[in-house]
């Protein structure tokens, strides 16, 4: 299995041991704050989130996957979810909010539902791993990181994701918590 980490942050330079700390947003809850003198808006947040959604679609197309099954599923407390939906109205459509309530472990999703679950995962409204056999794996983690896995290495997809303005790099070492061995 091959894994890639997808993120908005640049990787360490070869000579760097630690990454320099640059104030930046890491979550939807940072909307409305100022970073390096610039107000972080819902529109800016959605532009970055859109790139992550497109990155997943690119890799799914490249391995010819249309459906994903939900594993290791958990939801943010409902009152916090509803507070976020009220605070960031551009980010929470009625369809997305309704979808949140339908989600459960083992559910198979496709089409627009894949986009919605990516958005909920990037917003930390849910935590889960998604997979389609060993063709595709997707995991969300905190601070706006996303992991993709597959037995198929698709260099063309990796290049397309980089053209979106995201960083995608191979995951070094084993990927500890995953559902590949569940079956």
pLDDT in tens, 142-169: 899 999 999 999 999 999 999 999 999 9
C-alpha–C-alpha distance, residues 65 and 125, integer Å: 24
Domain count, the chain: 1
45 lies in some domain: yes
Domain of residue 104, residue span: 2-10+26-170
177 lies in some domain: no
pLDDT of residue 177: 67
Could you tell me the pTM of the whole model? 0.92
- Tell me: the pLDDT tens digits for 91-145? 999 999 999 999 999 999 999 999 999 999 999 999 999 999 989 999 998 899 9
181 lies in some domain: no
State what percent of residues in the chain have pLDDT above 70: 90
- Residue 115's CB is within 10 A of a number of other CB atoms, namely 18
15 lies in some domain: no
Sequence-distant (≥ 6) Cβ neighbours of residue 157 within 8 angstroms = 58, 59, 61, 62
């Amino acid at each position: 299995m091959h894994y890639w980490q997808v993120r908005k942050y640049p990787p360490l330079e070869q000579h760097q041991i630690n990454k320099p700390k640059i104030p930046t947003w890491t979550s939807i809850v940072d909307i409305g704050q100022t970073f390096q003198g610039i107000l972080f808006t819902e529109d800016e947040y959605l532009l970055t989130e859109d790139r992550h959604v497109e990155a997943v679609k690119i890799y799914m197309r490249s391995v010819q996957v249309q459906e994903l099954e939900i594993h290791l599923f958990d939801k943010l407390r409902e009152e916090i979810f509803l507070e976020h939906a009220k605070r960031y109205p551009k980010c929470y459509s009625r369809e997305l909010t309704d979808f949140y309530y339908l989600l459960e472990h083992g559910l198979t999703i496709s089409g627009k539902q894949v986009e919605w679950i990516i958005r909920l995962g990037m917003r930390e409204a849910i935590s889960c791993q998604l997979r389609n056999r060993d063709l595709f794996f997707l995991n969300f983690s905190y601070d706006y990181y996303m992991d993709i896995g597959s037995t198929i290495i698709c260099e063309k997809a990796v290049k397309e994701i980089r053209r979106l303005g995201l960083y995608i790099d191979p995951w070094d070492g084993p990927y500890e918590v995953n559902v590949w061995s569940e079956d």
